Amino acid sequence: MSAPAPASAAPALHDARPIGVFDSGIGGLTVARAVNQLLPQERLVYFGDTAHLPYGDKSTAAIQAYSVKICDVLLRQHCKVILIACNSASAAAYELVREYVGSKAQVLNVIDPIVRHIGQHYAGREVGLIGTKQTVGSNVYRKKLDALDRDIRLHALATPLLAPMVEEGFVRGAVSQSVINTYLSDPALTDIEALVLACTHYPLIREQIEEYYRGQIDVLDPSAIVAEALRELLQAHGLAAPAAVRPPQHHFYVSDFTPSFAESTRLFFGQEVNLEHYPLWE
């Protein structure tokens, strides 16, 4: 006669369900690309809310409404994790999304992993941050860094022209360099030792930002840091996908389709991506 099963089973070692990733547009594809590089066996379902971009100048209530609606889409796709690949949505809607999703999926934002990284490596130092009006205005980075009590002095600057500039493909050239230089020369960023790119669009202009600083400061791209945090979350909860013989088939949705977005996705994801139109409000 076989022994009875234990009262509480250990978490599953593998989970083939997809990871849901969303952003106000296609900027979050920089995070999705980092996830794909670090965790090639994981299947991704990406939602870019291009009908409402940018989130950076929207109200908190509007961002929360969009985020909940997108979560419905991702939960219907049976996503095991929902990654909010947008700083503005992470600042405005993370707690609401966690409450809304409940036990259906794990939820990860792009703010907490970078805050933890800064706390570990920049205690007692001057750290700059550039992001949207929503992200900077929320003071979420400052509050979380202050809570660490590591004497990190944050210099935050809203840079509202950068995300739409990148979204339109202006990532190299005189126009983008002029806008970048104007922002980075702002007195608010004087004497910093590191700069956080607090918008998922900004990794595409990282080289130009690094050129401006000529190696004098650390430019922190959250994409790889967030991908590593996702790997830790998957391992902690027994949610990692099994090894696959062939790469998984990712799905990419946008709430408003235009040919320019289809072209730009190659820049953000690093390879050809087929976008599917998925209107949120129909």
Q: Looking at the annotation, which residues are catalytic? A: 86, 199
- What phi-psi label fits residue 109: left (phi over 0), alpha (psi between -120 and 50 degrees) or beta? beta
Q: For residues 138 and 277, what is the distance between their CA atoms, to the nearest angstrom?
A: 31
Instruction: Name the amino acid, one letter, at 282.
Output: E
Q: How many CB atoms are located within 10 Å of the residue 123 CB?
A: 12
What would the two tokens of residue 186 be? 């702002």
DSSP class per residue in 31-50 = HHHHHHHH-TTS-EEEEE-T
214 torsion bin: left (phi>0), alpha (psi -120 to 50), beta (else): left
Enclosing H/E stretch for 152: none
- DSSP code of 56? G
Q: Are 135 and 58 in contact (CB under 8 A)?
A: no
44, burial (CB in 10 Å: exposed 0-12, middle 13-18, buried 19+): buried
